[in-house]
């Protein structure tokens, strides 16, 4: 383990949600809890077994650490381990504090040209990396990103870096879509009150084809529906945004067109 002096900690939508509602799904806040899981800091002290870090090193923190080597860890999908410790997911304390102790294997040395703020933002970026990996984004992919919040934006960044030929993104907010254009989105659609089918056909006309990959970052029922309608037959829809537990979707449409629907839980190996 290493002891860190914390420097930059982002505020995630989940932090705000725990603060305001006291729960997310099955994760319920029962005791006082420190928030924060998008973080960077400086090593103050390193445990005797730590070889890759020393005091003074600037690091980004991966907040999810499995407590035991179970089948999920053995297959490289440690994010799915039921034993995982995850900062600011009850009952585990987060790192929005002055000093923080963490497993050294889940701390990554920052290059000199990466700031502490950028270091903290590697955590939300990782959500995009994991989503695009699960989606199979590759050279020439046509991608539809639904929702232009921070997670929509990191998916645009990652999809382009993974070689996507064209990315179209939707949102209600014009200013968010403007930011998406700045970070590399090829096309934007400001959704007003179109039906999911209408959104899907707008996506198709802008791309010149239906996208092989859709990354849904809102969790809104109508957006998930649009995601299914928009995705090319044989393509992949990745659900990143989480909304209500039960959602009505055109599942037969997805089934008969062999659209693969994949979920993601945080990230691993990013």
pLDDT band at 103 (very low <50, low <70, confident <90, very high): very high
Predicted pLDDT at 131: 98
Instruction: Assess if residue 186 is contained within a domain.
Output: yes
Residues 101, 209: one domain? no
Domain count, the chain: 2
Residues 172, 147: one domain? yes
Q: Could you tell me the residue range of the domain that residue 229 belongs to? A: 125-263
Residues 63, 131: one domain? no
The DSSP line for the chain is: -EEEEEEEEE--HHHHHHHHHSEETTEE--S------EEEEEEEEE-TT--S--TT-EEEE--EE-SS--HHHHTT-GGG-TT-EETTSTTS--S-SSEEEE-GGGEEEPPTTS-HHHHHTHHHHHHHHHHHHHHT--TT-EEEEE--SHHHHHHHHHHHHTT-SEEEEEES-HHHHHHHHHTT-SEEEE-SS--HHHHHHHHHHHHTS--SEEEE-S--HHHHHHHHHHSPTT-EEEE-S---SS----HHHHHHTT-EEEE--S-S--
Predicted pLDDT at 207: 98
Residues 47, 87: one domain? yes
Please tell me the pTM assigned to this model. Answer: 0.96
**What share of the chain in percent tops pLDDT 90?**
99
Predicted pLDDT at 137: 98
Which pLDDT tens digit goes with each residue over 137-164? Answer: 999 999 999 999 999 999 999 999 999 9
pLDDT band at 176 (very low <50, low <70, confident <90, very high): very high
pLDDT band at 252 (very low <50, low <70, confident <90, very high): very high
Euclidean distance between the first and the last CA atom of the chain, given in angstroms as a whole number? 20
């Amino acid at each position: 383990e290493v002891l860190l002096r914390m420097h930059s900690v982002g505020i995630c939508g989940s932090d705000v949600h725990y603060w305001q509602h006291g729960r997310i799904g099955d994760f319920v806040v029962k005791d006082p809890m420190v928030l924060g899981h998008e973080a960077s800091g400086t090593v103050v002290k390193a445990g005797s077994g730590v070889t890759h870090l020393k005091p003074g090193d600037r690091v980004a923190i991966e907040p999810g650490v499995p407590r035991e080597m179970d089948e999920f860890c053995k297959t490289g999908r440690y994010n799915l381990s039921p034993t995982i410790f995850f900062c600011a997911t009850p009952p585990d304390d987060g790192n929005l504090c002055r000093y923080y102790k963490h497993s050294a294997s889940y701390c990554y040395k920052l290059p000199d040209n990466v700031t502490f703020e950028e270091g903290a933002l590697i955590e939300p970026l990782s959500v995009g990396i994991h989503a695009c990996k699960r989606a199979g984004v590759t050279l020439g992919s046509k991608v539809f990103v639904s929702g232009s919040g921070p997670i929509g934006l990191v998916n645009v960044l990652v999809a382009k870096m993974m070689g996507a030929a064209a990315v179209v993104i939707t949102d209600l907010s014009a200013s968010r879509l403007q930011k998406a254009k700045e970070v590399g989105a090829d096309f934007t659609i400001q959704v007003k009150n179109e039906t999911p089918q209408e959104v899907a056909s707008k996506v198709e006309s802008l791309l010149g084809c239906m996208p092989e990959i859709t990354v849904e970052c809102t969790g809104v029922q109508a957006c998930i529906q649009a995601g299914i309608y928009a995705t090319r037959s044989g393509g992949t829809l990745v659900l990143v945004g989480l909304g209500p537990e039960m959602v009505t979707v055109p599942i037969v449409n997805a089934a008969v067109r062999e659209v693969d629907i994949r979920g993601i839980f945080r990230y691993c190996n990013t």
